[in-house]
Chains A and B, each alone.
Chain A
Amino acid sequence: MKAAAFDYTRPRDLPDLLRQLAGSTDAKIIAGGQSLVPMMAMRLVRPALLVDINDVQDLQTIALEDDGVVIGACTRQADAEKSDIVREHLPLLAAALPFVGHDQTRNRGTVGGSLAHADPSAEIVLVATALQAELTLARSSGTRISSARDFLAAPMTTTLDEDECLIAIRFPRWTEAGRLGIGFHEVSPRAGDFAVVAVAAQLLIDQAGICRRAAVAVANAAPMPIRLTTVEAALLDTAVDRKSAREAAALADDLLDPPSDLHASAAGRRHMARTLIERAILDAAGLVAGHGSHG
């Protein structure tokens, strides 16, 4: 399997990158290439021009801001995984990254590339959905900010225009007083495989033990990862315990529209989703779920 012929350019900096995108037809940006190159090898994608952003240093930064962590789009997944800023201030992303492929793919694959690819089972897409990340999209004439929800239009489909590049992702930090808890669970055939179902949860519990903020999202139980708003609402302003976690998880059912494929039936995915949601909530609430992280 060999890719079809293409031309190749490697811009040195962001202005150069945006200029080249503006002047090209049928161009495709390559970051880590861990999804794009297989698609090219299978000739599902045949760009005329590959614009390699790996030399654009401005896209490989991780910055701590007052109310968010901003990750350059071409930051390697492995670098984000090792980052002290991510570990300390974005624990949900830190928990999700080890599930993204393998060492060999995370050393090359990027945080922004995963979002721009928009695979509905991708862990980074799930975390961006759960935390309502904001994406900065740039073109030569200026930049715009898009919510993860608006950006992720459909499976493998984003609202990125042909002359635009995703340059940074801003994951909000929850800085209110209290204890931040997270839970991340997925079912996959083997470690590193695509998730059959994955769940991410983040809760902020105040000193009195009351849940003040909640984000719960699921991947592969609907066409795209979704936030489970009714589950979040049920947890808010309550003291989460095992019973309420189970009851809240059951509320997800109405929001789910799971696919059926050779890995699991729709009914099976519903069952997995409910179970993993409960476990993720228990983890995030500090009530150890008592199961391995692989579900």
Chain B
Amino acid sequence: MPPGSWRGTVPMADRTIRLRVNGKTGEGVAEPRVTLLDFLRDTLRLTGTHMGCEHGICGACTVLFDGAPVRSCLIFAVQAEGHDITTVEGLADAAGDLSVLQDCFWETHALQCGYCTPGMLIAAQALLRRNNDPDDSEIRDAISGNLCRCTGYGQIVEAIRLAADRLNQRSRPGNAS
């Protein structure tokens, strides 16, 4: 039977999907049409990654895919087989801790409702990894794919700037902590 005639009548076979999430092996079963976003949230129960628009506009679902920020609603889980994913749960060293960046978001009130925050944090984390001293326009560029409807973005830019300063201070000789 040609594949076209199955459509809408027979569900596609489930796949076993194995990937690395936040340094650990994550494994689950899903149809090919399940997005990486739904797989992370529903199958692996990592609900820190937020679902916003589901068509690549809002950036709330941003995760690191092999170290690069991507929208997890625009990748099918089956495509992530064997790849390395970092979600917001993987930013701090231990559960309950905050990373320097997360601390700075808290300190500068860089969130109100918090819906966009996981995506903002991942996008900012990716920026700080490749550029330890970004200026405001570079920060704005890095978060330009992430919508926030509360803050007006000012405090988010401030938080990322503060995190860059703190991380630089910490890595300076004599300031080990």
Contacts and interface: CB of A to CB of B under 8 A. Distances in A.
A110 B3 CA distance: 27
Interface residues of B, number: 37
Contacts of A15: none
Contacts of A104: 59, 62, 69-71, 123, 145
Contacts of B12: 5-8
Determine the interface band of chain A, counting residues with CB < 8 A from chain B.
35 or more
Interface string B19-37: 0000000000001110100
A42 interface: yes
Contacts of B55: 1, 37-38, 41-42
Contact of B3 (A26, A37, A41, A192): A26
B150 interface: no
B140 to A, nearest CB: 8
Contacts of B142: 103
A25 B33 contact: no
A26 B4 CA distance: 6
Contacts of B33: 2-6, 40
A51 to B, nearest CB: 11
A37 B4 contact: no
A7 B145 contact: no
Interface in A30-60: 30, 33-34, 37-38, 40-42, 46, 48-50, 52, 54
A34 B74 contact: yes
Contacts of B65: 107-108
A218 B149 CA distance: 34
Given A1-B54, A3-B33, A103 B74 contact: no
13 contacts: A2-B38, A3-B33, A6-B12, A7-B3, A7-B6, A8-B76, A26-B4, A34-B71, A37-B55, A37-B76, A103-B141, A105-B56, A190-B144
